[in-house]
Amino acid sequence: MNAPSPHAQNAQNPSVSAVSTTSTHPCYRAHLTPTDYVVQTWALFGSAYQELNARKLFWVALALNALIIGAVAAIGIDDSGISILGYELGIPGVTAKLFPDGQLYKQIFSTLGVGIWLAWLSTILALLSTASMFPDLATGGVDTMLSKPVGRGRLFVTKFATGLLFTALQVAVFAVLAFLVLGIRGGVWEVGMFVVIPLMVVFFSYLFAVQAVVGMITRSPIASVIVTLLFWIVIFLVHSGEQFTLLGMTASRLEIEALERKIETLQTEDAKSGVILAVEAEKPQQANWKLAHDLFYAAKTIIPKSTETIGLTSRALSLAANMPTNDEVEGEGEDASARQQRGFFRSRSVSDRKLRQAIQTEMDSRSVWWVVGTSFAFESVLLSFGIWYFKRRDF
């Protein structure tokens, strides 16, 4: 009996024919090479850019960046005073001597540009623009993606990284234009201005991680934006509580220290006894403030620290741009008129300036690892859950 031909065997078993044909195809890969991974990832980035480019908010944000920088560029300052588009404002004392070496532009970019525009308005626009990325992936866009040899985990991470592209581009435009304004109008070419790009992308990643996971679960862009904004409010409330209790704890500590120094200067026991009673009465309050602050600090350590990250941005921008900082030390002999009542924190021994300096010293002592590292830890846990959910979900 003659053996059946290979074509007859393939006809009897189509699956064998398909495997054989695929394995002999010149484009067939048993395992993807590093070049294949790079090509796939680049294609995903290109697709995401085209998607963002097609949305109007992308161009609106770019236009607003240019408008804001243009408004700052319209401000002029010289030895005769300050002007807007050549029109002298006539503000006494505001001249180039008060703001030398482009200090006026540096302060505007640090406070208004970073503190308000990038930290709030631009971030909200970025959240709105990227809100549909993961809901679209969960409701239909995944079909085409998963028909290619792309793992779900890598697809999720790459999609998340491409979402950060919006903020990176927006902040890059802001930094470049601000750099040019500082150089042309202020006469100072500050490369340190570009430090805002990585720090603002890190800041946005905290919120975008929440939006990505919520969007994947709910498949709703609106729900993802609302939940992210609510989470942002929670972060702000925890930060406000931590700052308020830090203020109370610091004010109470400084009050005790000032009273103890006063005791050392008194000569009679009768005079000392009254101050000692004041110290003993203050110590329980200081303990209560410390307990409340420890609770808020523990909660703040767990969640992302958006305000502190923006503070790092402003601090790094100030240092890179050589902006002056208020580091004068308060003397012990300042007059009593400087010691004012501070609402909840009333003191006859500690001035507002000394309290502010103590708070600033505490904030500056918080390391970058604590601010960014613990925030990244929260973000990593959240994204790990999102990847796990994406892998196990049946599309």
Between these two residues, 316 and 3, which has the higher pLDDT value? Answer: 316
Q: What is the mean pLDDT of residues 6-15?
A: 50
Answer yes or no: is pLDDT of 322 > 70. no
Q: What is the pLDDT of residue 15?
A: 47
CB 282 within 8 A of CB 262: no
Between these two residues, 384 and 315, which has the higher pLDDT value? Answer: 384
- Please name the residues in contact with 272: beta carbons below 8 A apart, sequence gap of 6 or more: 263, 266
- Using alpha carbons, select from 108, 74, 127 the residue that is nearest to residue 193: 108
Q: What is the pLDDT of residue 318?
A: 60
Which segment of 23-32, 265-274, 343-352 scores lowest on mean pLDDT? 23-32
Q: What is the pLDDT of residue 21?
A: 47
What's the half-sphere exposure (Cβ side, CA atoms, 13 Å) at 43?
12
Distance CA 352, CA 333 (A): 14
Give residue for tokens 């992302």: 304
Confidence bin at 323 (pLDDT 50/70/90): very low
Cα-Cα-Cα-Cα dihedral sign, residues 257, 262, 263, 264? positive
Distance CA 289, CA 286 (A): 5
Q: What is the mean pLDDT of residues 341-367?
A: 77
Task: Report residue 103 as tokens.
Answer: 């200090």
CB 322 within 8 A of CB 105: no
Q: What is the pLDDT of residue 129?
A: 86
Answer yes or no: is pLDDT of 371 > 80. yes
Answer yes or no: is pLDDT of 4 > 80. no
Give residue for tokens 């308005």: 121
Q: What is the pLDDT of residue 133?
A: 86
Which segment of 16-25, 205-214, 283-292, 380-389 scores lowest on mean pLDDT? 16-25
Between these two residues, 349 and 331, which has the higher pLDDT value? Answer: 349
Task: Report residue 290 as tokens.
Answer: 């410390």
Answer yes or no: is pLDDT of 342 > 80. no
Answer yes or no: is pLDDT of 77 > 70. yes
pLDDT tens-digit map of 236-269: 999 999 999 999 999 989 988 888 888 888 878 8
Strand order through the sheet with 87-88:
75-78, 81-84, 87-88
Q: What is the pLDDT of residue 29?
A: 58
Between these two residues, 381 and 159, which has the higher pLDDT value? Answer: 381
Q: What is the pLDDT of residue 12?
A: 53
Confidence bin at 27 (pLDDT 50/70/90): low
Q: What is the mean pLDDT of residues 156-168?
A: 87
Q: How far is CA 290 from the centre of its chain?
A: 27
What's the half-sphere exposure (Cβ side, CA atoms, 13 Å) at 7?
0
pLDDT averaged over every residue in the chain: 81
Task: Report residue 155 as tokens.
Answer: 């697809």
Answer yes or no: is pLDDT of 327 > 50. no
Q: What is the pLDDT of residue 316?
A: 66
- Sort residue 30 into left (φ over 0), alpha (ψ -120 to 50) or beta: alpha
Distance CA 242, CA 250 (A): 12
Alpha helices in 118-220 (DSSP H): 122-130, 133-136, 142-146, 152-184, 196-218
Answer yes or no: is pLDDT of 291 > 90. yes
What's the half-sphere exposure (Cβ side, CA atoms, 13 Å) at 115?
12
